[in-house]
Structure 1
Amino acid sequence: MKQNLSIVKIGGNVIENEAELQVFLQLFSAMDGLKILVHGGGRKATQMLEKLGLKPKMINGRRITDAESLDVIIMVYGGLTNKKIVAQLQANNCNAIGLSGADGNTIQAHKRPVKEIDYGFAGDVDGINEKTISDLLGAGLTPVFCALTHDLKGQILNTNADTIASTLAIGLSEIYETTLYYCFEKKGVLMNVNDEGSVIKHIDSKKYGQLLQDGIIADGMLPKLENCFKALNKNVHKVCIGDISMIDPTSKLFTTITL
């Protein structure tokens, strides 16, 4: 029987709120079983770029990672944010180890090809090193991945944290029964975007089709749900979406997604 493995992704809304981050890290540390944390940090990177007099470059809400931006992103993601989180997890008796995809060759990627838009040093994930990550878990360590990968040629790449989390869940599903948690600012997938309490507690393939047809799932939630079902179709056990309270074992208000 496979061991359970929880992979939890947090974004800038949690990282930017010091009090919320502290609560999250306490809840994460208390989670039973094997676990991995994946974090972004785009807002902090934007703030640092501006402090240094550099203008963040965005097209359609997506970051363009030029060479100057990449240096700052490596500093913020791989240094400032990652190490602060690791230190705080240690304070909560969670033996964490901070990683980028280059460390231990854990996550390989390639530079996104230039089509209509040149995204610069943005990485699209090719695969993960399941054995190294499993060895770390087996040694009692909790990996904390920032949103950086590498191309096996010495180049670090800025990579979407949601994609890293789902790729880890998919790759490690061969060894573990993986559950993927996406923590964001809402309580879950909402039936009514204006009603925070209208959480849809369970979505399967049939329900998903109906919600799409009725226009309930739209805009920014569309790519999130597409990502969830992609993971489920590649042997991830289940995906959960909600705010940080979702990882509290007493919580019942979040969305669980299964096939």
Structure 2
Amino acid sequence: MIILKIGGNILNKPDALAAALDYFAALEGPAVLVHGGGRKASEVIAAMGMEPKMIDGRRITDAATLEIVTMVYGGLINKQVVADLQARGRNAIGLSGADGNAVLAEKRPVKTIDYGFAGDVLGADGSLLWQLLDAGLTPVMCPITHNGKGQLLNTNADTIANETAIAVARARPEEQVSLRYCFEFPGVMHDIKDPESWIPELQPSSYAAFKAAGTIVGGMIPKLDNAFAAVAAGVGEVIIGDLPALQAGKGTRIIGGS
């Protein structure tokens, strides 16, 4: 059982997206695709005469922005990816968190920053996803969730992938679940300018040491925090890397333990 997350660096490049979908469509057995699309959303927001608002890499989602990201993520990107997978022989079905109550979230509480209609995930429905998979359908999940009371929310796609992996692992503990984050580097890097400096394996102690040394910083920290949370919750493995690394069985493998 494989869950693959692809982000904006892939979605915005037709050749890269085609290669990633070729890889995904060829996977044997049940699989779920999770996509982001923040860069495309920012382009559409700007084209409509608005200014994308970001703080520390996180989008401020006011009411107007929520309408646009819902159209971009749940409509334009999601349906194009579904159509592209159909063309590759993979019977895909697009989902937001509201569809089938797949992912329930709550509006992020205001502390020092008001992120607007940003959603923090409460949980995903692993049983629903297995029902779709058992029916021969491949879920393609976009980063729009809901609160169960009619409010849509904008949610980080890495978190969607993480919570989805945890949910399907808990729903069927006998299944081996692999969560794979496909991004622009061969793995977690010692030096992003050196493609050979990827770290083959991380466990909690080495992760803490790399953070303390300043090797792992910025946006990689929440991604890796999610990865370790998934392993701790029963996901069999988490691998982070670019498409060539994943195709070659490489990338950075996240494992539990000390």
How does the TM-score come out when normalised to structure 1? 0.93
Q: Contact 2:185 / 2:192 at 8 angstroms: preserved in 1?
A: no
- Structure 1, unaligned runs of 5 or more: none
Contact 1:28–1:247 (CA<8 Å) still a contact in 2? no
Aligned pair 1:46/2:42, yes or no?
A: yes
Q: Distance in 1 between matches of 2:55 and 2:205?
A: 34
Partner in structure 1 of residue 154 of structure 2: 158
**CA drift at 1:122:** 0.5
Which deviates more from structure 2 when the two are superposed, residues 95-104 or residues 195-204? 195-204
Change (3 A) 1:246 1:28: farther
* Identity, % of aligned positions: 50
* Per-residue Cα deviation, 1:191-221 (whole angstroms, up to 9, x for no partner): 2232111111122234334433443222322
State the match for 2:121 in structure 1: 125
- Corresponding position of 2:220: 221
| Superposed structure 1 runs of 4+ greater than 6 Å apart | none
SS in 2 for 1:192: coil
- Secondary structure at the residue paired with 2:140? strand
Q: Which residue of 2 aligns with 1:101?
A: 97
Against the structure 1 CA distance between its residues 60 and 208, is the aligned structure 2 distance closer, same or farther, given a 3 Å change threshold? closer
* Aligned pair partner of 1:92 in 76, 88, 91: 88
1:226 shift after superposition: 1.6
Contact 1:49 1:69 in 2 (8 A): yes
Relative distance call for 1:190 and 1:149 in structure 2 (3 A) is same
1:150 and 1:213 map into 2 onto residues whose CA distance is 36
Q: 2:47 & 2:190 partners in 1: Cα distance?
A: 40
Say if 2:178 and 2:238, in contact at 8 Å, map to a contact too.
yes
Name 2:239's counterpart in structure 1: 240
User: 1:182 Cα deviation (Å)?
Assistant: 0.7
Offset at 1:257? 1.2
Q: How many angstroms apart in 1 are the aligned matches of 2:245 and 2:75?
A: 27
Structure 1 residue identity aligned to 2:6? I
Instruction: Find the aligned partners of 2:41 and 2:153 in 1 and give their Cα distance.
Output: 14
Secondary structure in structure 2 of the residue aligned to 1:173: helix
Cα distance in 2 for residues equivalent to 1:167 and 1:224: 12
Q: Distance in 2 between matches of 1:61 and 1:217?
A: 16
- Total equivalences in the alignment: 253
* Residue 255 of structure 2 corresponds to residue 258 of structure 1: yes
Aligned match of 1:171: 167
RMSD: 1.3
Name the CA distance, whole Å, in 2 between partners of 1:59 and 1:223: 15
**SS across alignment from 1:119:** coil
Looking at structure 2, the residues matched to 84 and 171 of structure 1 have their Cα atoms a distance apart, in angstroms, of: 26
